[in-house]
Amino acid sequence: MSIPLIDLKLQYQQIRQEVQTAISGALDSMQLFLGPNVQRLEEDFANFCGVQHAIGVANGTEALSLSLRALEIGRGDEVITVSWTFIATLEAIVHVGATPVVVDIDPRTYCLDPAALARAITPRTRAVIPVHVFGHPADMDAIREVCGPRRIHIVEDACQAHGARYRKQRVGSLGDAAAFSFYMSKNLAGYGDGGMVTTNDSDVARRLRMLRDHGQEQRGVFSMVGYNSRLDELQAAILNVKMRRLAKWHEARRHLADYYNEKLSGLDLVTPHEAPGCEHVYHLYAIRSPRRDAIAAKLQEAGIGFAMHYKAPPHLQPALGNYNLAQLDLPVTLRCADEILQLPMYPELTTEQVDQVCEVVRSALG
Ligand SMILES: Cc1ncc(COP(=O)(O)O)c(C=O)c1O
């Protein structure tokens, strides 16, 4: 039996009635412009992350770029991030006119390496975007130690990490602002695009509310040149249904990850690391092996879904050719690009299916 990398239909079948009721309610009310569903999601998401403000926006990419704009970062400024991420992290920096600077990652967590960050700082550095990649939090204490004394802003890229914890605090509450994506494959996902920014800074929140709605301070008063980047009311209605199940889904992912770890132990590959004090939410379950391509071939043959994020990391993409990133020395990123593979992971996956996946991985390495 084939096993997909992620099964969106299976989850939809379980919540279909509630989702349809929520969508009908929104349509019946015809309050489709920053209405009650967006408001409720913003309140619940802020509580969930343990922050004062959550601002719904159109997608995760704009959650990042609007956060940078709200922090008044733009032309002439450098923003440091990683290349072990989706290209959107770097696009957001370019969108605000700033210069992306890329550093290497930690070989165990695959998140930004704080020592590399310290070495990359220049007088023009205004912000850093740590990415909580695959659902594991970056080392925020070490990052804050580097950034704090220099007044460098921190914008968390939490697009893959809804609910992950760092020293008991949820991601989204660990920097000046944080960006989340509700793209359909994320741990909390709509059936279309959506995003959220969280922050404890009331000024940043106020600017974000203006920026997402054409810079309007009050109806008809446009105080800054903004964007059309509002979270859609129908997506918010769907997300409110899913928000109630997020904790349960999160536990299911963690249980499946433990099961994978156990079944894959003893094989010549590296399973995901959970750093002390961190709670991984396994948006993606990634293994690392020099024989990655042989494993992929066997999975393909067996009809098992897999991915190779980020086989071609963003700093090597032609789109970013003007920023002299390709010649940077990023040995850990490049090694991950050659060796990392993601296996099926979604809350409805069964342990029997994990057995099947692990058997194929074992046979590839055997
Ligand atoms: C790490 C990371 N950053 C940013 C984004 C951008 O989010 P979106 O697709 O909602 O624009 C994504 C999601 O695709 C992501 O995985």
The structural domain count of the chain equals 2
Instruction: Take atom 10 of ligand 1 and give the residue whose Cα is closest.
Output: 60
Q: Look at residues 243, 267, 283 and tell me which one is the last residue of a structural domain.
A: 243
Same domain, 22 and 82: yes
Give the rounded percent of residues in the chain with a pLDDT score beyond 70. 100
- pLDDT for the residue numbered 69: 98
CA distance 199 to 155: 9
Mean pLDDT across 229-247: 98
Instruction: Take atom 12 of ligand 1 and give the residue whose Cα is closest.
Output: 159
- Ligand 1 interacting residues, C-beta cut-off 6 A: 59-61, 85-86, 88-89, 131, 157, 159-160, 181, 183, 193, 195
Query: What is the 191 CA–ligand 1 centroid distance (Å)?
Result: 15
Say whether pLDDT at 349 is over 90.
yes
CATH number of the domain enclosing 17: 3.40.640.10
pTM for the model: 0.98
pLDDT band with cut points at 50, 70 and 90 for residue 353: very high
The pLDDT tens digits of the residues spanning 53-77 come to: 999 999 999 999 999 999 999 999 9
Mutate to test the pocket of ligand 1, among 62, 157, 181, 185 (most ligand atoms within 8 A of CB): 181
CATH number of the domain enclosing 300: 3.90.1150.10
Mean pLDDT across 214-222: 94
2 located within any domain: no
Q: Which atom of ligand 1 is nearest to the CA of 283?
A: 16
What string of DSSP letters covers 34-71? S-HHHHHHHHHHHHHHT-SEEEEES-HHHHHHHHHHHT
Say whether pLDDT at 248 is over 90.
yes
Same domain, 234 and 256: no
Say whether pLDDT at 27 is over 90.
yes
- pLDDT for the residue numbered 357: 98
Residue 172 CB partners (closer than 8 Å, separation 6+): 49, 50, 51, 156, 158, 162, 178, 180, 198
* Residue ranges making up the domain that contains 312: 246-365
What tokens were used for 123?
């007088």
Instruction: Take atom 7 of ligand 1 and give the residue whose Cα is closest.
Output: 60
Same domain, 206 and 305: no
CA distance 235 to 344: 25
Q: Which atom of ligand 1 is nearest to the CA of 181?
A: 10
Q: Which atom of ligand 1 is nearest to the CA of 182?
A: 10
- pLDDT for the residue numbered 366: 85
The pLDDT tens digits of the residues spanning 81-104 come to: 999 999 999 999 999 999 999 999
Q: What is the identity of the amino acid at 73?
A: I
- Spatial strand order of the sheet with 125-128 comes to 53-57, 195-199, 177-181, 153-157, 125-128, 78-82, 99-103
Residue with tokens 């949820």: 170
Same domain, 43 and 168: yes
